[in-house]
Structure 1
């Protein structure tokens, strides 16, 4: 028989994927609203969320050593650093535009996610070959 604490524990594990999906949706919507130049009142907060969440999630995916809290603190600090360095570089090269900055941050985040995915796949393949 399932007790109340068992049900709470089982639902706690299903909340994280839901929150991750909602965060990805909000971030993606923020990027789309900013890239299309929409006049929506949600444009600014969703875009700011994208500019912090996308690089932070990508950096956290690359980091494997630290414990989860340290990983997220490092990832948020890294996301702020990525945003500042992208803006500074684009301003120095006289290429600054809000759309361009968002596109560059999205591209860097995608590259970091791709690197993390390829590294995990390579580690999984190497571990599998050791077993066989």
Structure 2
């Protein structure tokens, strides 16, 4: 980085900070997912409950935002915020109307929805491997 221009250095710093922020968010969501699974299993403690409450809107929202890799960051943040709230509302409304509601089952449903959204996002964002990567094939 000795001969780099200021623009190149600032770009490198932004990339490094973006990676560390992604690692922090991933770690936090992982902890929240584990706490939600523990809550669904019936473990009762203060940190488990707090992290499970964090996961309820953040889990489905983060999975929705992850499934939109080519979009701008503000759009992904809006989809994450409102999509997570909408997903939780739909889960609660469906479970209440079917008379299946309990906090344990609600946490488990949010965890399952997040896993399903992550799986769909992984399938949708998979890119081809090999030498033809990034090229379009015309018949």
| 2:122 is the alignment partner of 1:100 | no
Rounded to whole Å, the distance in 2 between the matches of 1:36 and 1:105 is 14
Q: Which deviations, in whole Å up to 9, do the C-alpha atoms of 1:55-109 show, x marking residues without a partner?
A: 0111102224541112111211110111011011011001112121112111111
Q: Is the 8 A contact 2:69 2:125 kept in 1?
A: no
Provide the alpha-carbon RMSD of the alignment. Answer: 2.9
Aligned length: 129
Task: Provide structure 2 residue ranges, at least 5 long, that are not aligned to the other structure.
Answer: none
Counterparts of residues 1-132 of structure 1 (less than 5 Å): 2=2, 6=9, 9=13, 11-64=16-69, 66-121=71-126, 124-125=127-128, 128=133, 130=135
- 111-120 or 36-45, which deviates more: 36-45
Rounded to whole Å, the distance in 2 between the matches of 1:53 and 1:15 is 19
Q: Is the 8 A contact 2:61 2:84 kept in 1?
A: yes
Q: Kindly state the Cα deviation for residue 32 of structure 1 after the two structures are TM-superposed.
A: 2.8
* Structure holding more helix per residue: 1
Relative to the length of structure 1, the TM-score reads 0.79
Q: Is the 8 A contact 1:30 1:48 kept in 2?
A: no
Rounded to whole Å, the distance in 2 between the matches of 1:120 and 1:26 is 24
Q: Is the 8 A contact 2:32 2:51 kept in 1?
A: yes
